[in-house]
A and B are shown apart, each in its own frame.
Chain A
């Protein structure tokens, strides 16, 4: 069945450094790839997304890249800040069916 693998499960970086989280999806028909940030006790919130017809997308300090051939997509956070500390989830979907989530990455930004 559909599967999304996410690595690493935990990531600690110094404030100001960059953080990279990687995901691999199994269903080649997937065409939409959102990233969510979940803070403690809250629901996941969308931070950036990318569609299959685009290779890269940036929004200020956040960027996402997509390699359809390898079925990989990655989240890049530059100039990390303490408030970036949270759990990050990647997801993949086909149309509006079954958004399948990765297992999450706990990011700690050390001041």
Chain B
């Protein structure tokens, strides 16, 4: 158990809908990272937050947004969902200090039908 908690574990929704994925980082970690993993694909970096502020942005679609709250949990919002958005979405966290490992949660499986 990495200490990173993601909910929900599984989610099935229809095209055009909006979903919110939630992540609770490890205790004491200030940085949260979101990654997307499509079937048999690598880990695509979406966005990073540090202590509530956006720190780095990857290939995140405009239909997607994220935020990190004062209690350090983070949410990834996916809207106007398309079939191609079906993927495993991972959250990872680390203390935010240089050279620290990032620890992954178990992921949220999103299926868009």
Contacts and interface: CB of A to CB of B under 8 A. Distances in A.
Interface stretch (B12-20, B66-74, B92-100): B92-100
Contacts of A43: 2, 4, 90, 104-107
Interface of B is mostly: loop
Given A89-B43, A97-B55, A98-B56, A42 B101 contact: no
Contact of A44 (B41, B43, B48, B96): B43
Interface stretch (A11-19, A45-53, A62-70, A76-84): A45-53
Contacts of B100: 96
A98 B99 contact: no
B1 to A, nearest CB: 10
B110 to A, nearest CB: 14
A99 B42 contact: no
Interface of A is mostly: strand
Interface residues of A, number: 22
B87 interface: no
A45 to B, nearest CB: 7
Contacts of A86: none
B31 interface: yes
Interface of B: 2, 4, 31, 33, 35, 41-43, 45, 48, 50, 55-56, 58, 90, 92, 94, 96-107
